[in-house]
Homo-oligomer: A and B are copies of this chain.
Amino acid sequence: MNFASILEAIADEVRPSLGDGKVADYIPALARVPASQFGIAVRTTDGREVCAGDASTPFSIQSISKVFTLSLAMQQLGDGLWDRIGREPSGDPFNSLVQLEHEQGKPRNPFINAGAIVVADRLVSQFANPKEAVRQFVSSLCEEEVGFDEEVARSEAATGFRNIALANFIKSFGKLDNPVADVLDLYFHQCALSLSCVQLARACAYLCHDGRNPLCDQPVLTDRQARRVNALMLTCGTYDAAGEFAFRIGLPSKSGVGGGIIAVLPDRLTVCVWSPALGPSGNSVAGMRALELFVEKTKLSVF
């Protein structure tokens, strides 16, 4: 398949409507990202990397980081991780407290904020320097040093009242082992990781390589674990639009409010899109459109 021409065609098709939607503006460092950027990168299991548009521009990966912290926690803890996190779609806005109260502090899945905070707590218990552990883990996945945008991390900490509320709420149920401040320090930093589409498509390659990092041929997860991450991405990866993603796109995906979306076609390829303007569900408008076009043009989806 000629991915190069397909990606160029997609970039051409989405260009006229770039900027439709609304760039996340809850912190200045995100608000000032120009809305009209767009990048797309594909990495196939036979090692090809193809891209178009602003695919090498680093952006704030935000919630896409939840794929990496989940994977690292699964690697470290195995099934014990699931004692404190469910695996069901939430059916609710992504940071709702309601369900958390109803279920006594056990978040519905690791991709809502509450769930990612619980994952962060487990990593804080696991590593002497959890921020550095996560940074190194992601760096090793894409074989390049990646870093935190400290301005973003500081802003998230200064204004993230809802996440502070979430963490204290979970703590009130006795379901965080570490001090709230330590857990949130990791959480706000993981969201502030900066990567480009090309880097993200590469970093997620283990999800379509039976759990192995193809760059260094090292195991990241077991085959089964990798497939389960894919399953979670499909059912829970895109806030309360997971059903819509499955219906219209049909690829396991994880999005972030920085405008990035990573998608996986198991055993075949990863594709990462990025465009900062978001739709009402918190997902990149042009990114979703680009993935829809990708599936239309390639006939590749899990369904």
Contact = CB atoms under 8 A, between A and B. Distances in A.
Interface stretch (A8-16, A33-41, A228-236): A228-236
A169 B180 contact: no
Interface string A224-244: 000110111011100011111
Interface in A115-129: none
Interface stretch (A47-55, A96-104, A147-155, A192-200): A96-104
Nearest to A108: B91
Contact of A242 (B88, B230, B250, B302): B88
**What is the total number of copies of this protein in its complex?**
4
B109 A243 contact: yes
Interface in A252-303: 252, 266, 301-303
B91 A101 contact: no
Nearest to A301: B227
B161 A235 contact: no
Contacts of A165: 97, 164-169, 171-172
Contact of A231 (B97, B228, B247): B247
A258 B247 CA distance: 27
Given A98-B97, A180-B161, A88 B240 contact: yes
Interface in A176-229: 180, 227-228
Contact of A302 (B101, B243, B302): B302
B88 A227 contact: no
Most buried by B among A92, A171, A172, A247: A247
A86 B230 contact: no
B242 A235 contact: yes
Nearest to A26: B172
Contacts of A172: 161-162, 165
B180 A87 contact: no
Contact of A161 (B89, B168, B236, B252): B168
Contacts of A242: 88-89, 235
Contacts of A109: 243
Nearest to A234: B246
A63 interface: no
Contacts of A91: 88-92, 99, 108
B246 A231 contact: yes
28 contacts: A86-B243, A87-B243, A87-B244, A87-B247, A88-B241, A88-B243, A91-B99, A91-B108, A96-B101, A97-B165, A98-B101, A108-B243, A161-B168, A161-B169, A161-B171, A162-B169, A164-B180, A165-B167, A165-B169, A228-B303, A231-B246, A231-B247, A231-B303, A232-B247, A234-B234, A234-B246, A235-B242, A302-B302
Interface of A: 86-92, 96-99, 101, 108-109, 161-162, 164-169, 171-172, 180, 227-228, 230-232, 234-236, 240-244, 246-247, 250, 252, 266, 301-303
